[in-house]
Structure 1
Amino acid sequence: MRKLLPLLNTDPHAGGRSALTCRYRCGDACFHEVPNTSDNEYVGDVIASALSRRSMMRAAAVVTVAAAAGTATVFGPGGEQASAAPATDADRHGNGGGRTDGARGLRFAPVAPNKDDKVTIPDGYAQSVVIRWGEPILRGAPAFDADKQTAKAQAGQFGYNNDFLSLLPYKHDQQLLVANHEYTDEILMFRGYDPANPTREQVEIAWAAHGLSVVVVEEEDRSGKLTAVSRHPLNRRLTATSEFKVTGPAAGSPLLRTSADPSGTKVLGTLNNCAGGTTPWGTTLHGEENFNQYFANGSSATDKRYGIGAAATERKWELFDKRFDVKQEPNEVHRHGWVVELDPYDPDSTPRKRTALGRFKHEAAQPRLTADGRPVVYMGDDERFDYFYKFVSSKRMKKGTSRAAREHNSTLLDEGTLYVAKLTGDSPATEIDGSGKLPNDGEFDGSGIWIPLATGDKSFVPGMSAEEVYIFTRLAGDKVGATKMDRPEDVEPSPRTGRVYIALTNNTDRGKPGKAGADEANPRNLNKHGQILELAENWDDPAGDGFAWRLFLVAGDPNDPATYFSGFPKEKVSPISCPDNVAFDPYGNLWISTDGNQLGSHDGLFGVATQGERRGELKQFLTVPAGAETCGPIIQDRRVLIAVQHPGELDGASVEQPKSIWPDGPGKIVRPSVVAVWRKNGCDIGV
């Protein structure tokens, strides 16, 4: 995922990301041809046949209303959605009561862009490391020793490259921390590592460092500090060799069967888990993203659409387990690229790969409920020119924690309808010239429809069976003319307004010869800074087929005319580049973490007001160390939690020649870690 190209430079590693990141994060994806070579810049007869008459009328109604009222009845004055929850006094008066020092929740002195090898936070705040790679969390696991590491030890220790984070309630002074471990940097993990000849022990350590961790954390009185509780009975590690159950309409498909699993329902491992989501029923969702890089010797059209390489892999796992060799096990790759659901409260439960949510490079999967209690899950496919999806369950959530409720809720994501988004701008095409200049109506905005792909065993895509739609979801999106986006990554519905915010990180291929050019939702060619899209559906019925949308933020240097901060004065905002993960604070502000900053500073975390007169006011809260990416933000009343991923991942770095000394100082191995930040005076964040 996250390999970024400069606007005017022939070196694809210059700017925000190193060659080392490109190798280990996404398998040098940006050096390969864009997997989406489809010509789907039209709606055509496919959509007309796929959508019911009622669906078409709904979509048309949204378009008509938006066009007639400038989307005012959908978005409302100042950004409020007409059918959203009642506005508070703070909302009506700028989400900050007229204060001049920022919207409520964002009252801190912005951190200046910098390249310091540390986590830099605002004045008046404190920080600590919650947990590092290698810290023991299971009973029997030894203390971390980088020079004596074993696969058995790593399987009981906190994994590598923490990304998505979730905090769930447990006891009055404890919470459950759930973390994704996206990928491994072997050259930063093993002294004397030879990329051409990894040892079996090194490979098995890497398998054990992937996956998920569940760790009980304890809160300190009078501060926001968290401390990991080692060897707690609820602590858990899931790795590349743990058992996962395949559920939903594609479970058992011949396309999912292998020699080791002729049932097509039991998978070993979860790979490249990036962002995710937390469900209203107390589970966590984990998106398998750049799974393609782990599989060697791909050749078919479907392999190419998913970016499976035709040669050996970087890590060479195929030398130690035939399931990573597509020639020997052609269906194993189909068993990855799903959304995984985990019950952190049950350490004996088997996590499930939910096929009803489709297979692609899942950056995230964030649910909310309809008025009648059905989950709606929004999902981005993190690839240049790929699509944005949603899943609407056919079942209603049962409240409570009884065994019956938990068993029922464990089936919510197996039955429903999978959709892909088609966006249409409301400005003349001549006003979208690829420069980022606003059209004459003053906004990049428009309407859209959700195109149904499949429900249960019924396909809405001509020429594809339902199980083919679920397993080759990208091809289904191609066929129905979905809108090609600029790397849709994390997505978050606002708990206050219901509007959905989608991080589009960048796409430096847009507008190149033979590639799709700018459109109103993706208005800049050679887009290296990205944007945030705001989508509005009916608050009471997010299961509907029509929606309105607009760009909430067009990232970059505020001095660049091709940037936009919802109309807020640009001289009063922090520069931001490459939005990646998003989260909301208790006041309705959107917090954005970045990956691949193209403005010459380290990546960071930013807060931005989404409502009232301060809408668009964006302030930088922190920066991360050299080579690192900001991941997994959680914004609570008294603390901010981030995952500092791949610190020191810079060209030429190794265990012997580190490019960062974070978090433990000189002479210590660089370790991805989770960090908590809080106010020194014990007050709430940003008030």
Structure 2
Amino acid sequence: MTTTPSKRRMLPLLTDGPHGSRSAATCFYRCGNACDHPEPNTSGNTHVSSIIEKALARRTVLAAAGVGAGALVIGGLANNAAAGPRVPRSTAAAGGWTPVAPNVRDTVTVPDGYRTRAVINWGDPVLGDAPAFDPFAQTEESAAKQFGYNSDYVGVLPINDATALLVVNHEYTNEELMFPAGVYTPDEIRRIAIQSHGLSVVKIQRVGGPSSGQWRQADPENRYNRRITGTTQFEMTGPAAGHDRLRTTADPSGRKVLGTFNNCAGGQTPWGTVLSGEENFNQYFGKSGALDARYTTSYARYGISGTGDRGWKSVDPRFDLTAEPHEPFRFGWIVEIDPFNPTSTPRKHTMLGRFKHEGANIQIAADGRAVAYMGDDERGDYMYKFVSADTFDARDTQASRLRNMQLLTRGTLYVARLTGDDAFAVDASGNFTPADGEYDGLGTWIPLTSDTTSYVAGMSVAEVLIDTRLAADKVAPTRMDRPEDVQPNPVNGKIYAALTNNSDRAKKWPVDEANPIASSYTRPSLGAPLTKASGNRNGYVLEITEGGGDHTGTSFAWTLLLVCGDPESPETYFSGFPKDQVSPISCPDNVAFDSVGNLWISTDGAVLGGNDGLFRCPVAGTERGHVQQFLTVPVGAETCGPLITHDDLSVWVAVQHPGEGTGSTFATPDSTWPHTHEFPRPGVVVTWKA
């Protein structure tokens, strides 16, 4: 392979990493250095400490908050609640394996007796006419036919026992790891990067018989495979579609949007489609001059400044805020694609609100309505849910499916307020200490808008949906520590939310029972002593029980299942399970469930010295809170997905941004996983019992 000296351009060298364990590259590419900017939420809304009171009726509410009969939960891969728990012998769900020890290996490490393989990686063909991957000869045309960069959400939708559709998104690109220096111009890099975002639909086939958990990519020459990129046309749905603020020069209708990017987590719907959340979309927009003063408040609330962007405005004017001030309002939505219909137009659902969506996961309530749970991944932002106006049609007909695909266009959007049940108290480290030994309390889902009526004074339905953060600020919800993945458990019907971290907790915001950590312990490297640091560095896992088991209701009870960190750290909590028997866990990001309802947690940005990983945690019985590490990902990588198949035979994760680190480049990468080349290639792996 050779370079082209006449086109030499140097990529920016990213050096210092100021934000905990994250490198400068991670901070720049993931969220546009969000921690360097003021917190977008300046509403002054309560952190629970200012409204904590003794909830004398709490025990009565908890007793009434059982799981409603007849509820159907769908989240991630076809977790088939209707079929009931099915646990074959010797599966990861059944346990019995020896936990993986923390490590810094440049590989995917799994327990003894398990095997793992990469199913597809960046640059592999998705479409049948895709050219062979060549990092020295990339084009935007080839990128639009090949597997994109940095997968996050992983979904596997069965076709039959032997084949399925693998559906993943491509959150963002690491240009310094993707492109050899001196080969591409900056604008060539930008055009390729735009096509390397989006989603991929790939047909896969089982290796071995129906009891095998191993899979591989099928022949790209099939009718299902599809690439959705940063220029694919999307349709806007719901009450805000066509609003003036969604209209641009290229789309005066306000209903046709090109592309999706920074897609994070997602979920599978009961009607066989996939939802994906547009997260840190603000960082893609630059400016060539002054910004439209009408949108100063809105831009600020979403972190849109026009600075620190990726330079995409030089290859597409819609990313220039000065020229197209409405374009950013067309991003930050939940998108839906139909993997089984490769000619269908993907959609952006305005009814689910606009914010930095981690993802959306659906539960069908006892009365048949669809309920979507969502988190806004920002320091000090909120958790949401949507309840459809119409009911799910379980009949297996094309007409029923089409009807179900309208469920997310009408309904009511809510935001969460949490209150504690203990008097305010802090220990010597400044951490909240609950009087009853548990971090728990009550909560309320506050309505923001239906498809016909706004419940926020001074804002129309469309305004609430376009500026959901500003609307929520007005009704006093609870500011949380980066609420990311929020999913219903298919077995017990409870809701689990990953609250990743917040290094500014207590420095800027008071602790409370839902966000109790003012200082926590980190470890700079394996074997090094624990070091005390300010803020919530390791995160929590929140468990919600809807009042009376009614997922369409407005009351709930909550508890912190986990206060994450090293079990040697005094602030950690594992639901009372003996701390000397659990694996260290830091920075929960995404969650999943197996067929018996065990919680699986992937991490992002762990600050305990080792690589990120995937952890299993039972949520009931004597094993509740028993965290065990099942796998670790390579150097610099984040554990994404994750997904446990409904038969528990396969454990899926996406290995995102291997090699991402300070000074790591294409020529001198920190990782070469999956070791097919001398540079890293992020991708999707499956693990199974050998």
Q: TM-score, normalised by structure 2?
A: 0.88
Q: Which amino acid aligns with 1:205?
A: I
Within 5 A, what are the aligned runs for 1:317-466?
Answer: 317-430=312-425, 435-436=430-431, 438-466=433-461
Distance 1:420 1:394 in 2: 17
Contact 1:434 1:523 in 2 (8 A): no
Shift of 1:66: 2.0
Map of 2:191 onto structure 1: 204
Tell me, yes or no, if structure 1 residue 658 matches structure 2 residue 684.
no
Q: Which amino acid aligns with 1:518?
A: V
Shift of 1:290: 0.2
Tell me, yes or no, if structure 1 residue 569 matches structure 2 residue 578.
yes
- What secondary structure is seen at the aligned counterpart in 1 of 2:465? helix
Shift of 1:465: 1.2
Task: Select 2:597's aligned residue among 584, 588, 593.
Answer: 588
Distance 1:35 1:497 in 2: 35
Q: 1:84 to 1:411 in 2, by over 3 A?
A: closer
Contact 1:96 1:104 in 2 (8 A): no
Map of 1:275 onto structure 2: 265
Q: Which amino acid aligns with 2:493?
A: G
- What secondary structure is seen at the aligned counterpart in 2 of 1:568? coil
Map of 1:218 onto structure 2: 205
Map of 1:634 onto structure 2: 643
Within 5 A, what are the aligned runs for 1:236-251?
Answer: 236-251=226-241
Distance 1:473 1:20 in 2: 30
Q: Which amino acid aligns with 1:527?
A: N
Contact 1:380 1:387 in 2 (8 A): yes
Distance 2:47 2:650 in 1: 46
Q: 1:497 to 1:434 in 2, by over 3 A?
A: farther
Task: Select 2:546's aligned residue among 537, 545, 549.
Answer: 537
Map of 1:50 onto structure 2: none
Contact 1:629 1:646 in 2 (8 A): yes
Map of 2:531 onto structure 1: none
Map of 2:307 onto structure 1: 311
Shift of 1:233: 1.1
Tell me, yes or no, if structure 1 residue 498 matches structure 2 residue 504.
no
Distance 2:135 2:636 in 1: 20
Map of 1:146 onto structure 2: 135
Map of 2:77 onto structure 1: none
Q: 1:579 to 1:84 in 2, by over 3 A?
A: farther
Q: Which amino acid aligns with 2:300?
A: K
Shift of 1:16: 2.2
Q: 1:33 to 1:494 in 2, by over 3 A?
A: same
Map of 1:74 onto structure 2: 65
Q: Which amino acid aligns with 2:226?
A: R
Map of 1:53 onto structure 2: none
Task: Select 2:514's aligned residue among 514, 518, 521.
Answer: 521
Distance 2:412 2:185 in 1: 44
Within 5 A, what are the aligned runs for 1:34-45?
Answer: 34-41=39-46
What CA deviation, in whole Å up to 9, does each residue of 1:310-359 have, x standing for no partner? 4351x200111111111110000000000001111100110110000000
Q: Which amino acid aligns with 2:58?
A: A
Shift of 1:477: 1.1
Q: Which amino acid aligns with 2:167?
A: V
Map of 2:13 onto structure 1: none
User: Which runs of no fewer than 5 residues in structure 2 stay unpaired?
Assistant: 1-15, 73-84, 519-534
Q: TM-score, normalised by structure 1?
A: 0.88
Q: Which amino acid aligns with 2:206?
A: E
Shift of 1:457: 3.0
Shift of 1:430: 2.8
Shift of 1:73: 4.4
Distance 1:539 1:17 in 2: 41
Within 5 A, what are the aligned runs for 1:48-87?
Answer: 65-68=57-60, 71-74=62-65
Tell me, yes or no, if structure 1 residue 483 matches structure 2 residue 488.
no
Shift of 1:505: 0.0
Shift of 1:225: 1.5
Distance 1:193 1:449 in 2: 56
What CA deviation, in whole Å up to 9, does each residue of 1:535-585 have, x standing for no partner? 001465210011110101000011111011011001010000000000001
- What secondary structure is seen at the aligned counterpart in 2 of 1:213? strand
Shift of 1:26: 0.9
Map of 2:660 onto structure 1: 649
- What secondary structure is seen at the aligned counterpart in 1 of 2:190? helix
Distance 2:203 2:92 in 1: 33
Distance 2:33 2:329 in 1: 21
Map of 2:686 onto structure 1: 676
What CA deviation, in whole Å up to 9, does each residue of 1:623-642 have, x standing for no partner? 00000000001112211010
Contact 1:105 1:589 in 2 (8 A): no
Distance 1:198 1:474 in 2: 38
Between 645-654 and 295-304, report the one with greater CA deviation: 295-304
Distance 2:19 2:588 in 1: 18
Q: 1:104 to 1:167 in 2, by over 3 A?
A: closer
- What secondary structure is seen at the aligned counterpart in 2 of 1:171? coil
Contact 1:63 1:548 in 2 (8 A): no
Map of 1:579 onto structure 2: 588
Shift of 1:198: 4.9
Task: Select 2:145's aligned residue among 139, 156, 159.
Answer: 156
How many percent identity over aligned positions?
Answer: 53
Contact 1:434 1:518 in 2 (8 A): no
Contact 2:68 2:366 in 1 (8 A): no
Contact 1:640 1:678 in 2 (8 A): yes
Distance 2:130 2:402 in 1: 32
Q: 1:174 to 1:341 in 2, by over 3 A?
A: same
Q: 1:558 to 1:459 in 2, by over 3 A?
A: same
Map of 2:532 onto structure 1: none
Distance 2:17 2:170 in 1: 26
Tell me, yes or no, if structure 1 residue 17 matches structure 2 residue 22.
yes
Tell me, yes or no, if structure 1 residue 301 matches structure 2 residue 293.
no
What CA deviation, in whole Å up to 9, does each residue of 1:8-31 have, x standing for no partner? xxx863642111111111111111
Tell me, yes or no, if structure 1 residue 554 matches structure 2 residue 549.
no
Map of 2:36 onto structure 1: 31
- What secondary structure is seen at the aligned counterpart in 1 of 2:136? helix
Distance 2:19 2:270 in 1: 42
What CA deviation, in whole Å up to 9, does each residue of 1:120-150 have, x standing for no partner? 1100111111000110111211111111111
Contact 1:432 1:439 in 2 (8 A): no
Q: 1:257 to 1:289 in 2, by over 3 A?
A: same
Tell me, yes or no, if structure 1 residue 472 matches structure 2 residue 481.
no
Distance 1:105 1:436 in 2: 36
Distance 1:455 1:74 in 2: 25
Contact 1:146 1:669 in 2 (8 A): no
Q: 1:438 to 1:609 in 2, by over 3 A?
A: farther
Distance 2:247 2:297 in 1: 19
Backbone CA RMSD of aligned residues: 2.5
Shift of 1:364: 1.2
Q: Which amino acid aligns with 2:437?
A: G
Q: Which amino acid aligns with 1:272?
A: N
Tell me, yes or no, if structure 1 residue 607 matches structure 2 residue 599.
no
What CA deviation, in whole Å up to 9, does each residue of 1:268-319 have, x standing for no partner? 0001000011111111100000000001135712111101124351x20011
Contact 2:196 2:229 in 1 (8 A): yes
Q: Which amino acid aligns with 1:226?
A: W
Q: Which amino acid aligns with 1:202?
A: I
